[in-house]
């Protein structure tokens, strides 16, 4: 048992070692042709710079815009600061507008993400591991179903799910968002392929030999080996749940249960109604506040994200 746990990380480490060696080899090979490396890297730098600008430009606009008042927003040049710096004013207003409904929506989104995406990741880890490491009749059938489910976009299922949940009396409750979020066929598939490589069957056999139950093996050994894969799936599901728009739009009619996406859209739509308040400055500031947690999550989990992505490429 002890021996097994000790070997496991070292096995993983050596696997990682091999992987980086092979990448280095490939890299060296590409440096081969005369001067090709130099030219290509300038081109790549330019392409990358364009991509960086492309990706950061909207964020820059968002930040600049959220420092303006509603009237400055409409009367000044969009891509530079103008007038008083009212970011903090805007934030205060965003948090208090409509009896603090933004805070409520923020809380709802957190709830859906923690329970929905967290649960989806846990289920994907359990299921993917099970499918990768145990043999049972009907496994091919399960494989077909999971692959088929990956191919169906969630939006296509929203209305049928609504009709079903309506029969169960679940619409207009947090469950109507959380339950569909718990299912992540893509996550399951990812963990499945990841577990095939990352959890050596020999380690499991050694653990069993030493008398560890399947649950214990999973939580003490396999889960640790699966961590990069799990974090990748977690990021995917967190982003998907955080950005989920269509499902809550269909399921919820009470603004008290709205997530940020639907709530902000409602604020935006206010400008189109008779007697409605145009509050673009709050919509913009609210959007800025909405993306902050996602940015933070990416920065902190970045390294797992990268290793998770390369996991697939190595296998291929």
Partner 1 sequence: MKIRSNKGLRRGAAALTGALALGLALSACSSAGGGAETGNADDIAKALDTETTLTVWAWAPAVEQIAKDFEKEHPKVTVNVVNAGTGNDQYVKLQNAIKAGSGAPDVAQIEYYALPQFALSDSLVDLKDFGFDSFADEYTDSTWNSVSLDGGVYALPQDSGPMALFYNKAVFDQYGIAVPTTWDEYVAAAKQLHAADPTKYITNDTGDAGFTTSMIWQAGGQPYKTENSTDVSIDLQDEGSKKFADTWNQLVEGDLVSPISSWSDEWYKGLADGSIATLTIGAWMPGNLESGVADAAGDWRVAPMPTWEPGVAASAENGGGGDAIMKQSKNKLAAAGFLQYMNEGEGTQTSIDAGGFPSTVADLNSDEFLNYESDYFGGQKINQVLVQSSKDVVKGWQYLPFQVYSNSIFNDTVGKAYSSKSDLNAGLEAWQKATADYGNEQGFTVKAGS
Which residues of this protein are in contact with partner 1, per CB under 8 A? Answer: 71, 73-75, 159, 162-163, 166-172, 213, 215-216, 249-250, 253-255, 265-266, 269-278, 280
User: Please, which residue, 141 or 275, has the CB nearer to partner 1?
Assistant: 275
How far apart are CB 148 and partner 1 at their closest, in Å?
A: 24
Distance CA 121, CA 307 (A): 17
How far apart are CB 279 and partner 1 at their closest, in Å?
A: 10
Burial state string for 144-167 with b = 16 or more CB within 10 A and e = fewer than 16? eebeeeeeeebeebbeebbeebee
Cα–Cα–Cα angle for 127, 129, 133, rounded to 5 degrees: 125
How far apart are CB 130 and partner 1 at their closest, in Å?
A: 14
Torsion from C-alpha of 15, 17, 20, 25, nearest 10 degrees: -110
How far apart are CB 74 and partner 1 at their closest, in Å?
A: 4
User: Please, which residue, 94 or 232, has the CB nearer to partner 1?
Assistant: 94
Query: Which residue's entry shows tokens 């399960």?
Result: 142
How far apart are CB 230 and partner 1 at their closest, in Å?
A: 20
Burial state string for 255-275 with b = 16 or more CB within 10 A and e = fewer than 16? eebbbbbbbbebbbebeeeee
User: Please, which residue, 273 or 313, has the CB nearer to partner 1?
Assistant: 273
How far apart are CB 102 and partner 1 at their closest, in Å?
A: 15
| CA terminus-to-terminus distance, the chain | 32
Side-chain-side CA neighbours of 140 within 13 Å: the count stands at 0
Query: Which residue's entry shows tokens 């950005």?
Result: 243
User: Please, which residue, 90 or 232, has the CB nearer to partner 1?
Assistant: 90
User: Please, which residue, 194 or 257, has the CB nearer to partner 1?
Assistant: 257
User: Please, which residue, 30 or 271, has the CB nearer to partner 1?
Assistant: 271
How far apart are CB 245 and partner 1 at their closest, in Å?
A: 11
Q: Enumerate residues 6+ apart whose C-beta is below 8 A from 236.
A: 184, 186, 187, 190
User: Please, which residue, 252 or 311, has the CB nearer to partner 1?
Assistant: 252
Cα–Cα–Cα angle for 72, 51, 30, rounded to 5 degrees: 165
């Amino acid at each position: 048992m002890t021996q097994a746990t000790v070997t496991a990380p070292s096995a993983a480490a050596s696997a990682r070692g091999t992987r980086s060696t092979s990448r280095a080899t490939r890299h060296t090979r590409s440096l081969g042709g005369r001067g090709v490396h130099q030219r290509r890297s300038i081109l790549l730098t330019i392409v990358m710079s364009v991509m960086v600008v492309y990706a950061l430009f909207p964020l820059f606009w968002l930040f600049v815009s959220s420092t303006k008042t509603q009237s400055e927003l409409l009367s000044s040049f969009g891509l530079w600061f103008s007038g008083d710096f009212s970011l903090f004013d805007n934030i205060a207003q965003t948090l208090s507008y409509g009896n603090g409904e933004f805070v409520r929506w923020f809380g709802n989104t957190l709830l859906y993400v923690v329970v929905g995406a967290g649960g989806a990741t846990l289920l994907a880890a359990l299921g993917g591991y099970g499918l990768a490491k145990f043999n049972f009749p009907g496994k091919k059938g399960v494989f077909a179903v999971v692959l088929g489910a990956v191919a169906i976009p969630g939006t296509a299922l929203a209305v049928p799910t609504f009709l079903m949940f309506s029969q169960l009396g679940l619409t207009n409750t947090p469950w109507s968002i959380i339950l569909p979020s718990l299912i992540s066929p893509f996550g399951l598939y990812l963990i499945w392929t990841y577990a095939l490589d990352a959890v050596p069957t020999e380690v499991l056999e050694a653990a069993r030999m030493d008398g560890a139950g399947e649950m214990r093996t999973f939580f003490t050994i396999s889960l640790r080996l699966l961590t990069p894969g799990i974090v990748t799936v977690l990021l995917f599901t967190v982003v998907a749940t955080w950005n989920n728009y269509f499902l809550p739009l269909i399921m919820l009619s009470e603004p008290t249960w709205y997530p940020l996406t639907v709530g902000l859209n409602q604020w935006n739509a206010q400008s189109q109604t008779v007697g409605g308040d145009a509050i673009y400055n709050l919509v913009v500031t609210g959007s800025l506040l909405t993306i902050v947690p996602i940015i933070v999550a990416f920065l902190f989990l970045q390294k797992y994200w990268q290793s998770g992505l390369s996991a697939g490429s190595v296998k291929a």
